[in-house]
């Protein structure tokens, strides 16, 4: 079995270790332009200097209506592409692989940023920068506004928006792409029978509900060519009866691999408000393990992975091929360097500026 500090090669890209930075929304664009700021450079760059093998951006919208909030980043304009270039370049300069998560929030778009607006609920009104959202069906999420049901022409445009966003992301210097199909956002809405009530070719059967995701995977693969690794992030479970589950995830992961995807980032939840998820250390790892063994694909695990020993056990036992960290990296951006030190691994990616911390005196 692989160890936590073995490299992993996917298509033309080799990642230096198996500790990766999970996408984390920052809600830090200063206006509604979708253009990343200096904050994003420092935030993402810290994980690269800290030793992460792969650093993935926050959910980056493929069009303006796909933003989770008005303060989210985007990749639907050339100006946004150019602003991402120095960020991708810095990540790569530190020996990490820069990745971008391509996303559309669907009915969960036009929401209030997660910080600074704690007293606001529901959807952001147009008078304050909000917009009408779209979804597979006109079914609202919680107390948010009811979305417009996507027409076939709108679905076709979203496929093209993902394709165009993938081209801009690669042109900006990102070496790995991830299609976001988790956490109750648009592609998860199509996958889950809780949100998808369509009766046409995009609703009903699993094959129909998966069609939009598979079209996007095929379009992105055709656009970026054979060398760029393509991930898909899934929610392994909706945590509610009658919803999306780990076996559907495994089945669609296999189809997505046939369509051109390489790797699957397994999280969970997000499709419906008010669901209580039984949180505990590594609570989502079983979903990743199931998808890996059932679909025979490579996966990462995420969710309350907080110690070097825990991360090492997940990889070395073969439950997942890599671990994604989020909150633990916010607490300690240099977790990978610390993990190597504490687990006794000699690694060659310490920044020279930090070598004084490599050995305890």
Question: Where exactly are the structural domains of the chain?
Answer: 13-357
Scanning the structure block, which residue is given the tokens 């147009």?
126
Among the options 117, 185, 345, 354, which is catalytic?
185
Sequence-ordered list of residues with C-beta below 8 angstroms from that of 293, at least 6 positions apart, any chain: none
Residue 27 annotated as catalytic = no
Alpha helices in 115-268 (DSSP H): 152-171, 186-191, 206-209, 211-224, 246-259
pLDDT beyond 60 at 232: yes
Domain 13-357: which CATH number of 3.20.20.70, 3.40.50.10860, 3.30.450.40, 3.40.50.170 = 3.20.20.70
How many angstroms separate the CA atoms of 157 and 31, rounded?
25
Tell me the mean pLDDT in the region 319-347.
96
Q: What is the mean pLDDT of the chain?
A: 97
The vertex-272 CA angle with 232 and 22, nearest 5°, equals 35
> Residue 229's pLDDT band (boundaries 50, 70, 90)?
very high
Q: Chain centroid to CA 342: how far?
A: 28
Segment 115-159, tens digit of pLDDT:
889 899 999 999 999 999 999 999 999 999 999 999 999 999 999
Sequence-ordered list of residues with C-beta below 8 angstroms from that of 193, at least 6 positions apart, any chain: 209, 242, 243, 244
How many angstroms separate the CA atoms of 191 and 303, rounded?
22
Burial profile 57-88: b = 16 or more Cβ within 10 angstroms, e = fewer: bbbbbbbbbbbbbbbbbbbbbeebbebbebbb
Segment 57-112, tens digit of pLDDT:
999 999 999 999 999 999 999 999 999 999 999 999 999 999 999 999 999 999 99
pLDDT beyond 70 at 360: no
Is the pTM for the entire model greater than 0.85? Answer: yes
């Amino acid at each position: 079995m692989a160890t936590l500090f073995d490299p992993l090669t996917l298509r033309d890209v080799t990642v230096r270790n198996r500790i990766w930075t999970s996408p984390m929304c920052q809600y830090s664009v200063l206006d509604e332009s979708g253009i990343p700021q200096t904050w994003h450079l420092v935030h993402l760059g810290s994980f690269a200097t800290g030793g992460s093998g792969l650093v993935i951006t926050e959910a980056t919208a493929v069009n303006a209506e796909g933003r989770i909030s008005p303060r989210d980043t985007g990749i639907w304009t050339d100006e946004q592409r150019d602003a991402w270039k120095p960020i991708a370049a810095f990540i790569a300069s530190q020996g990490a692989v820069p990745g971008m998560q391509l996303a559309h929030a669907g009915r969960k778009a036009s929401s209030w940023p997660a910080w600074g607006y704690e007293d606001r609920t529901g959807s952001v009104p147009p008078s304050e920068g909000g917009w009408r959202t779209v979804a597979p069906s006109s079914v609202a999420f919680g107390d948010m506004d009811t979305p417009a049901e996507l027409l076939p022409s709108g679905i076709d445009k979203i496929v093209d928006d993902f394709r165009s966003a993938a081209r801009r992301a690669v042109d900006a210097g990102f070496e790995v792409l991830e299609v976001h199909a988790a956490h109750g956002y648009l592609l998860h809405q199509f996958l889950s029978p809780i949100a998808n009530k369509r009766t046409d070719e995009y609703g009903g059967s699993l094959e129909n509900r998966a069609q939009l995701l598979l079209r996007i995977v095929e379009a992105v693969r055709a656009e970026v060519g054979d060398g760029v690794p393509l991930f898909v992030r899934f929610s392994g479970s909706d945590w509610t009866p009658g919803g999306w589950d780990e076996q559907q995830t495994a089945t669609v992961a296999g189809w997505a691999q046939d369509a051109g995807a390489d790797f699957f980032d397994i999280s969970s939840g997000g499709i419906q408000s008010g669901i209580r998820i039984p949180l505990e250390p590594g609570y989502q790892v079983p979903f990743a393990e199931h998808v890996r063994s059932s679909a025979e694909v490579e996966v990462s695990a995420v969710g309350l992975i907080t110690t070097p020993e825990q991360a090492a056990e997940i990889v070395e036992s073969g439950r997942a091929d890599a671990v994604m960290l989020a909150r633990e990296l916010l607490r300690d951006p240099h977790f990978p360097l610390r993990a190597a030190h504490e687990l006794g691994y000699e690694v060659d990616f310490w920044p020279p500026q930090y070598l004084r911390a490599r050995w305890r005196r």
